[in-house]
Structure 1
């Protein structure tokens, strides 16, 4: 499958990277000279490449052409005509003006799977608004339910981008399966606002049926207790999650050494523990704070209680589980070899496609040659300023 993507930033590049890893040929169309603006978000990767771009763009080909130049547009149309998938997350209205929106593309090429990914979608008062991840997190209500009781916060990663990129990849795969069965292409549209609001569905349902939002609880849980980070005697932070009353009884009889708490009506049920959250957390904190981390984790293991260390990013880079399962790989890039995580999903009998992060325009002449451009045609494109 060939995927042609007019993409920038995070959302759509996240989707197409996964398609590339499943084996698609992904051709990333970029503006000559500057390219995807995510290339210059920072210079975290050896002072050359942004961390975002390195993360999102391995295994793709970079095709840098000015599509506003007639000869460049003609070359692009040849590329699109041979594609299986064309996707775009350009600024509002830009794709339609260029005839690259999903409906226009499928009208020209009925077997094509075409996808428009936008912040807010067509129709409604927000149609023309520019949309970036943090803004969508705010509009969707995610920011209002994230953080501590005193201070709201955005998610620590590009949640709206990743959510919409995930749905875009799913939609493309479903549309390709449908095409295999029916021969029909599809013009699909999805929005960042819809995607992250769906991911925030618990809070939406809670507000719908109670008339109030879930309380911000930091690293705790607004509806479950104890579900909180506790400091051990060694100063480590361990997040303990008790999911039901049976687990609470095991915790009380085991690590806490307080078997009576399993029957005490002030603590025996989750509703009671949430109502008495301060006292519940204080009981657990008192015990955990007097014990070394090894005793805390051993006690939790013995009681069958879920827990996790609150790791810094430096800890994640040397996480023993990731290391034991060989989750790290080395990928080439314009900044040199970089360490990255393996694809989340891999077929047991087919290795994933893992190729370098492309330099801007690295594959332009190769792709144009495949499309039938000879040396004279390439020279003309250069003279036109198209490449």
Structure 2
């Protein structure tokens, strides 16, 4: 790992801090929007010292969407726990300073379009010779070759090209999955790749270049279930949307998820329709059977209220859940039991944060600090 003396590590620490798996690892992040920042934020939660390099005026995504005093909530949630420096990469002095930071770092996270790094004098040959132990993560939309190599890449565009928008649609109308699913999934894969590269570096002593196209990520992520009808060679079956597991009650909704024959049998017992079991057993097409099963169950569930069905399903061991609002989820007793969220200080007052979901020998890795102000750590961090 990097020598702790090579960079001044004035990392903000709160009482929630503890020993973390990536303590001592230095990350330089030059990315914007959500893919790279989300990956780097996860590395910060795991203990890395993440230095966010921002242009003059700050990351252009800082004020995006719902915000308070210039701190966009999405930006805040993807950039907490980091330190910020302002570097103008359009100047020779700025490029020199970034190179100085990279020379003593373990990891570089960037999501420039493929040709941008070379245009800045930061091509892979330069970075590799500058710091042979550096692990470089390059996130882009479509890869660095091919007709789309330099095309703009945003979450919804990748969804459109990877079948998600078509598959999410109902009644002939396509629909985008909200909440930047592609960006966040790509960030998680980026962290996974970085951790694998860190392990490889322990064996070889050398870093390397990781290329991570969003297009490829979603192919890997979606394939196990979305592409069931294209798994077997020669299969030309039509894609069918899965039967809805959301059931309307007399006063709301519930979700059920009977995953096997025994659980489907319990569901029929719960709705007092055990006589249907033999009919379903005779159905040879599992997809058609599932559609008919949920259609019939939904008609019965409409007759009673949500509280009745949740209690009934629980009593008969049917996998079921309420349909919570976002606020109901935040206030759920199990969420509180697990201590998923807590508040930390920030330049705009206390902010709610979600802790890293895994625990390490019972250590909970809560956020160590809020997001930085623009250039807040210019004087603390070297590279001048």
Bin of the TM-score, shorter chain as denominator length:
0.7 to 0.9
- What is residue 286 of structure 1 aligned with on the other side? 299
8 Å CA contact 1:331–1:356 kept in 2: the answer is yes
8 Å CA contact 2:255–2:322 kept in 1: the answer is yes
Q: Does 1:70 pair with 2:92?
A: yes
Q: Does 1:215 pair with 2:215?
A: no
For 1:155 and 1:268, locate their aligned partners in 2 and report how far apart those are by CA, in whole Å.
35
Instruction: Select 1:257's aligned residue among 252, 256, 272.
Output: 272
Instruction: Select 2:196's aligned residue among 163, 171, 174.
Output: 174
For 1:326 and 1:263, locate their aligned partners in 2 and report how far apart those are by CA, in whole Å.
45
For 2:213 and 2:173, locate their aligned partners in 1 and report how far apart those are by CA, in whole Å.
28
For 2:358 and 2:156, locate their aligned partners in 1 and report how far apart those are by CA, in whole Å.
28
1:199 deviates by: 1.3
- What is residue 243 of structure 1 aligned with on the other side? 259
- What is residue 107 of structure 2 aligned with on the other side? 85
Q: SS of 2:71's equivalent?
A: coil
For 2:357 and 2:124, locate their aligned partners in 1 and report how far apart those are by CA, in whole Å.
29
8 Å CA contact 1:66–1:72 kept in 2: the answer is yes
For 1:262 and 1:300, locate their aligned partners in 2 and report how far apart those are by CA, in whole Å.
17
- What is residue 48 of structure 1 aligned with on the other side? 70
1:311 deviates by: 2.0
1:328 deviates by: 1.4
For 1:206 and 1:104, locate their aligned partners in 2 and report how far apart those are by CA, in whole Å.
45
For 1:127 and 1:78, locate their aligned partners in 2 and report how far apart those are by CA, in whole Å.
29
For 1:71 and 1:48, locate their aligned partners in 2 and report how far apart those are by CA, in whole Å.
28
For 1:101 and 1:164, locate their aligned partners in 2 and report how far apart those are by CA, in whole Å.
22
Q: Structure 2: where are the runs of 5+ without partners?
A: 1-24
- What is residue 25 of structure 1 aligned with on the other side? 49
Distance 1:147 1:361, change over 3 A: same
For 1:298 and 1:351, locate their aligned partners in 2 and report how far apart those are by CA, in whole Å.
33
Aligned residue pairs total: 356
- What is residue 231 of structure 1 aligned with on the other side? 248
Distance 1:93 1:323, change over 3 A: same
1:39-76 alpha-carbon deviations (Å, 9 max, x no partner): 1212x243532121111011001111112222222222
Distance 1:147 1:331, change over 3 A: farther
Q: SS of 2:39's equivalent?
A: helix
- What is residue 381 of structure 1 aligned with on the other side? none
1:152 deviates by: 1.4
1:204 deviates by: 2.8
Distance 1:349 1:317, change over 3 A: closer
Instruction: Select 1:326's aligned residue among 302, 325, 339.
Output: 339
1:109 deviates by: 1.8
- Counterparts of residues 177-216 of structure 1 (less than 5 Å): 177-201=199-223, 202-209=225-232, 210-212=235-237, 214-216=239-241
8 Å CA contact 1:232–1:288 kept in 2: the answer is yes
Instruction: Select 1:11's aligned residue among 14, 35, 49.
Output: 35
Q: SS of 2:281's equivalent?
A: coil
1:272 deviates by: 4.7
Higher share in helix: 1
Q: SS of 1:262's equivalent?
A: helix
After TM superposition, the score normalised by the length of structure 2 is 0.87
- What is residue 315 of structure 1 aligned with on the other side? 328
- Of 275-284 and 23-32, more deviation after overlay is shown by 275-284
- What is residue 363 of structure 1 aligned with on the other side? 377
Distance 1:181 1:273, change over 3 A: closer
For 2:290 and 2:53, locate their aligned partners in 1 and report how far apart those are by CA, in whole Å.
53
8 Å CA contact 1:249–1:261 kept in 2: the answer is no
8 Å CA contact 2:246–2:256 kept in 1: the answer is yes
1:276 deviates by: 5.2
1:187-219 alpha-carbon deviations (Å, 9 max, x no partner): 111110011121110223423543255334xxx
